[in-house]
Structure 1
Amino acid sequence: MTDTTIRKSVFLPVSKQHAWDYLTKADLLNKWFHPADADMAPGQDYTLRSQKDGDRMCWGTVEEMVPHDYMRWSFTVGPANGVMSTVEWTLSDAPGGTRLSLVHSGLPTDAEGFGLVLALDKGWHGFLGGLRNCTEE
């Protein structure tokens, strides 16, 4: 795994602090992404579970947190066979709210990994749309 990267941005009609809570608080992650075993905390491992059956969906370590501005995770899913990638979240002020940007890097570059990259791209697109819907309520 080397340099395939997914980049996404979404505009949220809430403050950076409010958006940050949706990225870090277990009860709010559950509303738009996956149920988390615990709040995200720097240097801590995390596990996000399936909404359907509670099975482990994705996991890794919160590598860095700069509250309300930036967070970086190591990240893997079952089909990646334990190979870690990196997910970075950047929050910036925007007129009327917050711009949230995601960069998911270290993804497969070979033909065998292409399906995983497509699935992750589709997943991030849907989850960020769900996040926007949650924060508009």
Structure 2
Amino acid sequence: MTLDMTMADTAIQKSVYLPAPRKRVWEFLTKADLLNKWFHPAQKDLAEGEDYLLTSQKDGDRMCWGTVQEMSPYDYMKWSFTVGPMNGAMTTVEWRLEDAPGGTKLTLEHSELPTDSEGYGLVLALDKGWHGFLLNLHDMQ
């Protein structure tokens, strides 16, 4: 199966409200030991301009990878992002952190997703995955 990975308006957008300050949420988005608690194990802390690799907690297999394209601590981060089914095609994941009463509003936008009907299954899987991972952040300590 070949997926149409042309840039388009297909995007996943999700927000979650977390009872923690932006600095703490940022640490969960960027620190290897904390990424492991809610998402996937990272080889190292995320840093602007550097590649990242997140692996499976079960067997250490490669789950997702790309490059951290931009970081503005406690406010914004942008990644290039791919997973195995994308066959190396890159998408974009953006994270926005905003103050909210009692904590932080974290917004994820995953864009440049497949535009064809064959790729829709991948979009659904990514949507479900992001939903679950963001819910995991409610358990941050």
Residue 111 of structure 2 corresponds to residue 105 of structure 1: yes
Tell me the amino acid that sits aligned with residue 96 of structure 2: T
Give, in whole Å, the separation in 2 of the partners of 1:129 and 1:7.
14
Give, in whole Å, the separation in 2 of the partners of 1:69 and 1:49.
25
State how 1:30-45 maps to structure 2 within 5 Å. 30-45=36-51
Instruction: After TM superposition, give the deviation of residue 92 of structure 1 in Å.
Output: 0.2
Cα offsets for 1:82-103 (capped at 9, x unmatched): 0000000000000000000000
Give, in whole Å, the separation in 1 of the partners of 2:56 and 2:137.
17
- Look up the match of 2:22: 16
Structure number with higher helix proportion: 1
Tell me the amino acid that sits aligned with residue 75 of structure 2: D
**Structure 2 unpaired stretches of 5+:** none
TM superposition score normalised by structure 2: 0.94
Instruction: After TM superposition, give the deviation of residue 24 of structure 1 in Å.
Output: 0.2
Tell me the amino acid that sits aligned with residue 60 of structure 2: G
- Look up the match of 2:99: 93
- Look up the match of 1:127: 133
Matched-pair identity in %: 70
Residue 123 of structure 2 corresponds to residue 117 of structure 1: yes
Instruction: After TM superposition, give the deviation of residue 9 of structure 1 in Å.
Output: 0.3
Aligned residue among 60, 65, 90 for 1:59: 65
**Structure 1 unpaired stretches of 5+:** none
Give, in whole Å, the separation in 2 of the partners of 1:132 and 1:6.
20
Give, in whole Å, the separation in 1 of the partners of 2:97 and 2:109.
12
TM superposition score normalised by structure 1: 0.97
Give, in whole Å, the separation in 1 of the partners of 2:15 and 2:57.
24
Alignment: residue pair count: 135
- Look up the match of 2:31: 25
Give, in whole Å, the separation in 2 of the partners of 1:54 and 1:128.
21
Give, in whole Å, the separation in 2 of the partners of 1:132 and 1:120.
19
Give, in whole Å, the separation in 1 of the partners of 2:123 and 2:48.
26
Give, in whole Å, the separation in 2 of the partners of 1:76 and 1:8.
18
Give, in whole Å, the separation in 2 of the partners of 1:131 and 1:80.
26
Give the 3-state SS of the residue equivalent to 1:132 in structure 2. helix
Give the 3-state SS of the residue equivalent to 1:42 in structure 2. coil
